[in-house]
Amino acid sequence: MLEYKVRCRGKIKGDNADLKLILSTYNFSFWFNGENGFIQLDRNGNVIAMISIGGVYRIYSCTKLSCKDHVDKLYWSLGLRENLNEFHETALKDPLLREFISKYPGWRLRSTSLWWALVVGVCQQNASFRQGWKMLYNIVKNYGRKIVLEDHETYLTPTPQDIIEKPELLKKSGTGYRWKTILSIAHWFLEHNVDCKALQRSKAEEIEEILKSIKGVGEYTARLALVLALRRYELPPVDRWLRKIISVVYGVSEKEAEDKWVSIWGRYSGLASVAVTVALDAEPLNKALKRIGEGKISPIEDNKITPLTMWKYL
């Protein structure tokens, strides 16, 4: 067993990013403990960044590595390379995101690998927010790729290979019929030797079609992966939840909802989709609609599981 050692150190130069907020969003206890976050920077888990909410980071790996490339990747993962001025301008005029963005201008989307982003998408299919994230928590824990960085313990995401070797652990993780889809995604990754840099050069529509070629990956999951892994926002993931919310808030039919959304958010449509789920604490539809009616459209501090607090409970 090789030992992880610190290979690079530094401090994040923060525009106005709020690292605690960024690390809190849709995260698990083994990747964020309130003080330090752990971010996997490569496909196999050989390179891991540990970053404090104050911005001090260390990059660990078992072998020597190029610091410049990996620090760059860390900035990318934390969303610090994006200029969101245009997104913020729109948000401050928007009834759904105005409150959230004015309260949390330092929010950025934390990205994941394409592989994991697809698994995340599949676990959101036809399930509640909480059920989906519980599945993901179980998957990481059950595959059990625990590692130790000096005196810190954390977990790697399972690799496609791990899944193929032990597909039964997927069912044990409570994924129900989704286990087949996750397994086919794993096979797809091994067979295609996916090159994300090359994928990035393609049009979003083309990437969406490629991802949809995997059985069980449809429009929603493909687009969520574009958002979470590639920071491509022009094609928004719109599920039943968001579709209904759009139709109520902007007074359009559910059929027109997606077009309306894109007409408002343009090239930030996908980012806005995710931001709304955070703003409304991922409440189930009826509660979310009630919150909107009451004008409570920013996260509420409470002792319950929300996108911003789930790291305390899972």
Partner DNA sequence: TGCCAGGCGGGGT
Partner DNA sequence: ACCCCGCATGGC
Interface residues with DNA (CB under 7 A) are: 121, 124-132, 134, 171, 174, 176-178, 212, 215-222, 239-242, 277, 280, 282-285, 307
Which amino acid, 99?
E
CB of 25 to DNA, least distance (A): 12
- Cβ proximity to DNA, 12 vs 163, nearer residue: 163
Report the Cα 260 to chain-centroid distance in Å.
24
For the bound state, the minimum distance from the C-beta of residue 75 to DNA, rounded and expressed in Å, comes to: 27
Indicate the residue among 212 and 231 with the shorter CB distance to DNA. Answer: 212
Shortest approach of DNA to residue 299 CB, angstroms? 12
Min dist. Cβ of residue 224 to DNA (A): 8
Interacting residues of 286 by C-beta distance below 8 A, sequence separation 6+: none
**Residue type for position 288:** A
State the residue for tokens 């963005």.
Answer: 101
Q: Which of 45/307 has CB closer to DNA?
A: 307
88 CB-contact burial (10 Å; exposed 0-12 / middle 13-18 / buried 19+): middle
Euclidean distance between CA atoms 222 and 212, whole angstroms? 6
For the bound state, the minimum distance from the C-beta of residue 131 to DNA, rounded and expressed in Å, comes to 5
Q: How many residues in total does the chain contain?
A: 314
Looking at the Cβ atoms of 178 and 232, the one nearer to DNA is 178
Q: Indicate the residue among 70 and 178 with the shorter CB distance to DNA.
A: 178
Specify the residue, 125 or 159, whose C-beta has the smaller distance to DNA: 125
Q: In the numeric block, which tokens belong to residue 105?
A: 């201008």
Angle at 231 between CA 160 and CA 286, to 5 degrees: 90
Residue listed under structure tokens 């305390």: 312
d(CA 133, CA 28): 9
CB of 249 to DNA, least distance (A): 15
Structure tokens at 158: 């399972």
